Amino acid sequence: MAFATIGTRGIQAQSVDLSSKVTGTLPVPNGGLGIASGTTGQFLKFTGTETLASAADNAGKILQVQSSIRSTETVTTNGSYVDTGLSVNITPSSTSSKILVMIGHGMNYTSSGTEVQFRIKREIGASVTELTKFVINLDGQGSTGGSSIMVLDTPNTTSQVSYLDQFYRSNGSGNVYLCVNNSSASITAMEIGA
């Protein structure tokens, strides 16, 4: 059996001056980060199998909360959407942020079978969008119940965004009351970092 022998004379331990002899960005597969620099407070994340990028350290964090409370009774007999009087404004700090909108209020009907539709409307300047809607039908005259609406929105803007709570009597003949007897209702908008 033959063996090859490699002498060690030609291989010499040497050091590489990384501070002055290496320029540019060293690719990730070669042990680098693939980026030239970052900003204080940022962290690194993989953006591909061999790529890294710096990003703000706020992913998933609640960046701000705006809220509004209303405690005056609203009633409608209308057959198309009207404002409940509950709204909130928020100005996202980034176009990638998500906004979680939550609304809760008590309600009451004066007639059995009255059906109500709610929705959350978003306004950015003159742009109006219906984000979500649902229907409630409580059986029994004088029924009282709670209603809540939530939606996770991605408005993709850093301009002021308004979220408005709206409702209307979509079926039946009774009055529809919100904030019955001046009970409280609230709307909250939370900006969540992407």
Partner 1 sequence: MKRVSDAIQKINPDAKFTIQNNLDFDNCEIEWHEGTTPISLEDIRVEWDKL
Q: Kindly tell me which of 131 and 180 has the beta carbon lying closer to partner 1.
A: 180
Q: Kindly tell me which of 70 and 122 has the beta carbon lying closer to partner 1.
A: 70
Per-residue x/- mask for partner 1, residues 82 to 121, rule CB under 8 A?
xx-x------------------------------------
How far apart CA 162 and CA 87 sit, in angstroms, is: 7
How far apart CA 35 and CA 38 sit, in angstroms, is: 8
Q: Kindly tell me which of 85 and 113 has the beta carbon lying closer to partner 1.
A: 85
Q: Kindly tell me which of 57 and 83 has the beta carbon lying closer to partner 1.
A: 83
Residues 39-68 that bind partner 1 (CB under 8 A): none
Residue 74 contacts partner 1 per CB under 8 A: yes
Structure tokens at 161: 């965004």
CB of 42 to partner 1, least distance (A): 47
The per-residue DSSP string of 37-56 comes to ---TT-EEEESSSS-EEEE-
Interface region with partner 1, contact rule CB under 8 A, candidates 32-40, 54-62, 72-80, 124-132: 72-80
* Residue from the set 79, 140, 145, 146 that interacts with partner 1 by CB under 8 A: 79
CB of 193 to partner 1, least distance (A): 36
Interface region with partner 1, contact rule CB under 8 A, candidates 41-49, 69-77, 124-132, 140-148: 69-77
The per-residue DSSP string of 76-89 comes to E--SS-EEEEEEEE
Residues 129-188 that bind partner 1 (CB under 8 A): 175, 177, 181-182
How far apart CA 96 and CA 156 sit, in angstroms, is: 6
62-70 and 185-192: which strand pairing? antiparallel
C-alpha dist (Å) from residue 60 to 16, 65, 96, 100, 191: 41, 14, 11, 12, 10
Reference 74, options 182, 161, 164, 187; nearest CA is 182
Q: How many residues make contact with partner 1 (CB under 8 A)? A: 16
C-alpha dist (Å) from residue 141 to 107, 108, 112, 138: 13, 9, 4, 9
Residues that bind partner 1 (CB under 8 A): 72-80, 82-83, 85, 175, 177, 181-182
